[in-house]
Amino acid sequence: MYDYLVVGSGLYGAVFAREMENAGKRCLVLEKRDHIGGNIYTEEVDGIHVHKYGAHIFHTSNEEVWKYINKYAEFNNYINSPVAVYGDELYNLPFNMNTFSKLWGIRTPAEAKAKIAEQIADLHITDPQNLEEQALSLVGRDVYEKLIKGYTEKQWGRDCKDLPAFIIKRLPLRFTYNNNYFNDVYQGIPKGGYTQIIEKLLENVDVMTETDFFEYRREHDNFKKIVFTGMIDEYFDYRLGHLEYRTVRFETERVEDASYQGNAVVNYTAKEVPYTRIIEHKHFEPELEAEKPKDYTIISREYSTEWKPGIEPYYPVNDEKNSKLYEAYRELAEKEENVIFGGRLGQYKYYDMDKVIDAALAAARKELGK
Ligand code: FDA
> What are the residue numbers of the active site?
170, 174, 246, 277, 302, 350, 352
Instruction: Compute mean pLDDT per 10 residues along the chain, 370 residues long, and list them.
Output: 98 98 98 98 97 97 98 98 98 98 98 97 93 95 97 93 88 96 97 98 98 97 97 97 94 98 98 97 96 97 91 88 96 97 96 97 96
The three state secondary structure string of the chain is: CEEEEEECCCHHHHHHHHHHHHCCCCEEEECCCCCCCHHHCEEEECCEEEECCCCCCEEECCHHHHHHHHCCCCECCCCCCCEEEECCEEEECCCCHHHHHHHHCCCCHHHHHHHHHHHHHHHCCCCCCCHHHHHHHHHCHHHHHHHHHHHHHHHHCCCHHHCCHHHCCCCCCCCCCCCCCCCCCEEECECCCCHHHHHHHCCCCEEECCCCHHHHHHHCCCEEEEEECCCHHHHCCCCCCCCCEEEEEEEEEEECCCCCCCCCEEEECCCCCCCCEEEEHHHHCHHHHHHCCCCCEEEEEEEEEECCCCCCCCEECCCHHHHHHHHHHHHHHHHCCCEEECHHHHCCCCCCHHHHHHHHHHHHHHHCCC
* Rounded Cα gap, residues 18 and 71, in angstroms: 12
Cα of 142 from ligand 1 centre, angstroms: 35
What pLDDT is stored for residue 311 in this prediction? 87
Question: CATH 3.40.50.720 spans which residues of the chain?
Answer: 2-76+186-243+318-367
Maximum C-alpha span of the chain: 69
Q: Does residue 46 come out as left (phi exceeding 0), alpha (psi in the -120 to 50 range) or beta?
A: left
Amino acid at the residue 327: E
Cα of 344 from ligand 1 centre, angstroms: 6
> What angle separates helix 97-104 from helix 109-123, to the nearest 10 degrees?
70
* N- to C-terminal Cα separation, the chain: 24
CA distances from 197 to 11, 33, 73, 243, 350 (A): 9, 17, 6, 30, 21
Does the ipTM exceed 0.90? yes
Of residues 366, 363, 298, the one with CA closest to residue 11: 363
**Topology of domain 2-76+186-243+318-367, CATH:** Rossmann fold (3.40.50)
What pLDDT is stored for residue 319 in this prediction? 83
Beta bridge partners of 7: 30, 228
Q: Which residue CA neighbors atom 30 of ligand 1 most closely?
A: 56
Which protein residues are within 6 Å of ligand 1, measured from CB?
A: 7-13, 30-33, 38-40, 54-58, 212-214, 229-230, 248, 314, 343-345, 351-354, 356
Amino acid at the residue 208: M
Nearest-10 Cα torsion for 58, 64, 67, 68 = -80
Cα of 22 from ligand 1 centre, angstroms: 23
Strand order, beta sheet including 245-255: 89-92, 83-86, 265-268, 277-280, 297-306, 245-255, 315-316
